Homo-oligomer: A and B are copies of this chain.
Amino acid sequence: MNTFGRLFRINIFGESHGKALGIVIDGCPAGIAIDTDGLVADLERRKPGAAGTTPRKEDDLPDIVSGVFNGKTTGAPITMLFENKNVRSADYDAIRDTPRPGHADFVLHEKFKGFNDYRGGGHSSGRLTLGLVAAGVIAKKILSPVSIEAKLTEAGGNKDIEAAIALAVEKQDSIGGIVSCKVMGLPAGLGEPFFDSVESVISHIVFAIPAIKGIEFGSGFAAANMHGSVHNDAIMDEKGTTETNNAGGINGGISNGNELCFNIAVKPASSTPQAQHTWNKSTKSMEAFQVKGRHDLCIALRVPVVAEAAAAIALADLLLIHNAYQP
Contacts and interface: CB of A to CB of B under 8 A. Distances in A.
B212 A205 contact: no
A130 to B, nearest CB: 13
A106 interface: yes
A174 interface: yes
A231 interface: yes
A101 to B, nearest CB: 4
Most buried by B among A123, A272, A284: A123
A2 B65 CA distance: 16
Contacts of A15: 66-67, 69, 74, 76
A246 to B, nearest CB: 8
A102 interface: yes
Contact of A272 (B108, B156, B232): B232
A237 interface: yes
Contact of A200 (B69, B77, B203, B266): B203
A278 B231 CA distance: 14
B108 A252 contact: yes
A253 interface: yes
Contact of A215 (B3, B215, B253, B266): B215
A272 B229 contact: yes
A38 interface: no
A279 interface: yes
A233 B276 CA distance: 9
Contact of A19 (B27, B65, B215, B238): B65
A223 B2 contact: no
Contacts of A195: 1-4, 204-205, 208
Contacts of A225: 156-157, 176
Interface in A212-253: 212-229, 231-238, 240, 242-243, 246-248, 251-253
A251 B69 contact: no
A107 B252 contact: yes
A207 B219 CA distance: 14
A123 B155 CA distance: 41
A12 interface: yes
A72 to B, nearest CB: 5
Nearest to A281: B238
Given A1-B27, A11-B26, A18-B65, 7 more contacts: A76-B123, A199-B207, A214-B220, A229-B275, A235-B278, A238-B279, A238-B284
15 contacts: A6-B6, A13-B76, A13-B79, A15-B74, A30-B115, A73-B115, A75-B115, A108-B254, A124-B193, A174-B228, A195-B204, A210-B252, A214-B217, A229-B275, A231-B268
For the complex of A and B, list the 4 residue pairs with the smallest distance between their C-beta atoms, beginning with the closest. A104-B252, A228-B272, A214-B216, A174-B228
